[in-house]
Amino acid sequence: MSDDPQLLSSARVKWLLLFVLGVFPALLVMATATLSFQRAETLSFCSSCHTMTPWVMDLKNSQSKAIAPMHYRNRFILHNQCYTCHVDYDFMGPVNAKVDGVRHIVAYYTGIGMHNPIKLYKPFPNNNCLQCHGASAQFQSQTHIAVMDQIKANSMGCVTCHNPIHTPQG
Amino acid sequence: MKKAIEIALGADLLGLLATLPCLIDTTPITMTLFFMVGIPLFAGGFFIYVGSVIADLRRHGVV
């Protein structure tokens, strides 16, 4: 190591700058990203986007006969109600949900890929329903057994019979 | 090198300003600001600094 005090001072400054410009921002980005991803799963986050207002109004409407408001009203899902149904239950599901969230932001601010009215990017996967309902006694009833193979193969959607899911209002 | 560090610190400060709203209250707007502006500014500031350090080391014949 050099004994030159000026060089040593300069090296200390460089290490300090490395902390200020490298370590601190990295820690801040990790903390903010983790926290914001958790907050982005909440109903209040989804409802803070004006595009979702009709869907959230329906969700909170005690008179709505749709499936989603019924789940909300009866507290079938305690927290993160939008996220719980709309994130896919496979390995990449949470990552794809984040990517879709970025697509929503781009669509909202640029209009690129914006559909009016909004619609799902792909048909709703049965696995998202079966994650909760799959093992229930009601699901294992005679009615479902007759079409079980089609349901598991996703060739017949749960929403084919169980609808409407949402009845957006306003 | 001094100019590069000033730019890097400026980018870092702006990155901090773009990140703090999202850390305090996450909304679609603050989250967009953080991901689209804050992170690129932090990354830009860091790479400008690393580039200036490498240039300085080359000037001194260390690398």
ipTM of predicted assembly, 2 dp:
0.92
Instruction: Tell me which of B35, B48, B60, B63 to substitute to probe the interface with A (most A C-beta atoms closer than 10 Å).
Output: B35
Q: Which of residues 44-103 of A touch B (CB under 8 A)?
A: 45, 48-49, 102
Q: Which of A21, A28, A40 sits opposite B8 (nearest CB)?
A: A21
Per CB-CB distance under 8 Å, the chain B contacts of A102 are 35
Q: Is residue B23 scored above 90 in pLDDT?
A: yes
Q: Is residue B63 scored above 90 in pLDDT?
A: no
Q: Is A161 on the interface with B (CB under 8 A)?
A: no
The three-state DSSP-derived secondary structure of chain A is: CCCCHHHHHHHHHHHHHHHHHHHHHHHHHHHHHHHHHHHCCCHHHHHCCHHHHHHHHHHCCCCCCCHHHHHHHCCCCCCCHHHHHHCCCCCCHHHHHHHHHHHHHHHHHHCCCCCCCCCCCCCCCHHHHHHHHCCCCCCCCHHHHCCHHHHHCCCCCHHHHCCCCCCCCC
Q: Which of B12, B28, B34 sits opposite A48 (nearest CB)?
A: B28
pTM of the model: 0.80
Residue ranges, chain A, pLDDT below 70:
1-9, 170
**Which pLDDT does position A9 carry in this prediction?**
61
Asked whether the beta carbons of residue A109 and residue B32 sit closer than 8 angstroms, the reply is yes
**Which pLDDT does position A3 carry in this prediction?**
52
Q: How many Cβ pairs closer than 8 A exist between chain A and B?
A: 62
C-alpha distance from B63 to closest chain A C-alpha (Å):
15
Among chain A residues, the shortest Cα distance to B51 is held by A18
